[in-house]
Amino acid sequence: MTTTTTTRHTAPAPTPAAAAPKQADTGGKVLGVFSHGFMIVWALMVTVPLGWAVIQSFKSDREILTKPLSLPADWSIDAFGRAWTKGHIGEYFLNTIIVMTFSLTLTMLLGSMVAYVLARYSFWGNRIIYYLFVVGLTMPIFLGLVPLYRTVQNVAAILQNVTGLAFVDWIGLNTFGGLVLVYVAYSLPFTVFFMHAFFRTLPTAIAEAGMVDGASHTKLFFRIMLPMAKPGLISVGLFNVIGQWNQFLLPKLLMFPQSGFDKERFVITQGLLNLANNSKYETDWARLFAGMTLAMLPILIVYLAFNRQIQAGLTSATIK
């Protein structure tokens, strides 16, 4: 007689560790809901006032004062024409573009060169120079207003005495050249700090291969390494565009009317303040809102055009 033995398999009792993934998943969902909710609130806080200001530029002054929260009864663009011509926004735009063309070019060129040398070459004083630029990020600009004013004034005078040329007319106070140099000095610390971290992530093998092929240090930088750093250049370039376009304190300190109401050298931020002051007396509020809208458009267009490149530049260092 054969005896058959039946073995029963029982599932092991769940351990406390098995419930950990569910708890982590719940915590992640809560954190995700909180972060998304915070971002939505933040987006509303930013976009609603800007959208309201844009809508006001299409209204008449009476509608702005009597119905500030309603849509315009008649969508008119006359205020934009008045802001561009009578408000001199067109002249302020041109002045700002002239200044930023030179300041942004010099900032990106000098900043990328300095960051590349500090990131890829070892020499005595490397870290000292790098940390001096880092200190520049922490220095409040308000502390340097008086020394900055005197420096711009004295540098132009010294160059004029040494060379005999009228440098005061080019890089002195109330000149585009002086403002360009100050913008470059103001933007270099962040540019060097950002690009230094980016250049350190680039592969060393490519640089070594270029040197083996006979490329000089200059050719290696401009022909090989700089094109590879294009995402970082676009990202830091946009930050510099926003910072220099919205800069008010430095132009207010260095650019001022020579006499009377001569404001031909004002940049866009100074022009908006002048437009706001004039709107109080002329009661042309629609023109003021139209000027604000025109001042916001270039930055908005640049950001939308380079949005993906900016994200790639900010995340490429982490991915690599």
- For residue 259, is pLDDT > 90? no
DSSP for 186-252, written as a single string:
HHHHHHHHHHHHHHTTS-HHHHHHHHHTT--HHHIIIIIIHHHTHHHHHHHHHHHHHHHHT--HHHH
The per-residue pLDDT for 153 is 83
Contact 53, 293 (CB under 8 A): yes
pLDDT of residue 25: 66
185-204 pLDDT, tens per residue? Answer: 999 999 999 999 889 888 88
Of residues 306 and 54, which shows the higher confidence score? 54
Q: Which tokens hold the place of 185? A: 């000095």
Quick check: 317 pLDDT over 80? Answer: no
Confidence at residue 308, expressed as pLDDT on a 0 to 100 scale = 74
pLDDT at 3: 46
Mean pLDDT value of segment 4-18: 50
| pLDDT score at 36 | 85
Q: What pLDDT is recorded for position 24? A: 52
Give the mean model confidence (pLDDT) for residues 238-248: 91
The secondary structure of 6-65 as a DSSP string is PPPP-PPPPPGGGGHHHHHHHHHHHHHHHHHHHHHHHHHHHHHHHHHHHHHTTS-HHHHH
Q: Report the alpha-carbon distance of residue 267 to residue 255 in Å, rounded.
A: 9
- Higher pLDDT: 34 or 18? It is 34
Average pLDDT, the chain: 82
| Other CB atoms within 10 A of residue 68 CB | 12
Task: Please choose, from the candidates 268, 255, 260, 246, the residue with its C-alpha nearest in 3D space to the C-alpha of residue 152.
Answer: 255
The pLDDT of residue 306: 79
Instruction: Specify the pLDDT at position 16.
Output: 52
Q: What are 107's two structure tokens?
A: 């900032």
The owner of tokens 């060097």 is: 192
Q: Give the end-to-end CA distance of the chain in Å, rounded to a whole number.
A: 72
Tell me the C-alpha distance between 268 and 299, whole Å: 12
Amino acid in the structure at residue 8: R
On the question of pLDDT at 13 being above 60, the answer is no
Domain boundaries, the chain: 33-76, 86-319
- Residue 34's pLDDT band (boundaries 50, 70, 90)? confident
Most confident of 8-12, 25-29, 100-104, 203-207: 100-104
User: What is the share, in percent, of the chain residues with pLDDT greater than 90?
Assistant: 28
135-185 pLDDT, tens per residue?
988 888 888 888 889 888 888 777 777 776 666 667 878 889 889 999 999
- Has residue 110 got a pLDDT over 60? yes
| Distance between CA atoms of residues 49 and 289, nearest Å | 12
The predicted model gives 74-90 an average pLDDT of 88
CATH architecture of 86-319: Orthogonal Bundle (1.10)
To 10 degrees, the CA torsion angle through 52, 56, 58, 63? 130
* 36, 197, 198, 200, 224 from 318: Cα distances, Å: 23, 10, 10, 12, 21
